[in-house]
Amino acid sequence: MRLDKAIESGMGMTEVSWLRHANPWSVWTRLLSVPAFALAVWSREWIGLWCLAPIALVVGFLWLNTRIFSPAHDMERWETRAIMGERLWLKRRETPLPAHHARATFWIIAGSSLGILPLIGGLYWLDVWATALGIVMIVGGQIWFLDRLAWLYADSVGHMQQD
């Protein structure tokens, strides 16, 4: 099973939870989870093994995030289009993406995934600059990826309206 499908399955995503996840508040708070997770791991320096509590809170929030916000009702919002594009992207095996979107999403993911290296190193050695670099690379890549997914959704809706 692909990692993205495993995560979707583990999150228990339904039609309603996808619409809740498409709420702009859900999108932005999920993006903030990366620095929150880094801070929770970093807190081991101050609170020792008690850092597992804030780590668990961040992980728990990620699961709750797709359930606590009201469903999106305006498909014109960038954040909502991005999440609707994410659904299309997750179904790329069944319905292949246009080549320009497939190539772009691959390279965006590959580039932003490299941010995990300075993030892990920064958190291990408590290096603030490496940690910050990793966070910027990951979150910046996520925002760029979301922008591409919003474009994918817009192209898809435009294509469906033309048919």
Q: Where are the domains of the chain?
A: 3-162
| Residue of higher predicted confidence among 111 and 10 | 111
**pLDDT tens column, 46-88:** 999 999 999 999 999 999 998 899 999 888 999 999 999 999 9
Query: Residue 163 and residue 161: Cα distance in Å, rounded?
Result: 6
Q: In whole angstroms, what is the distance from residue 28 CA to residue 32 CA?
A: 6
Residue 30's contacts (CB-CB under 8 Å, 6 or more residues apart) are 62, 65
pTM, two decimal places: 0.88
Least Cα distance to 88 among 158, 25, 34 occurs for: 158
Q: Is the pLDDT of residue 30 over 70?
A: yes
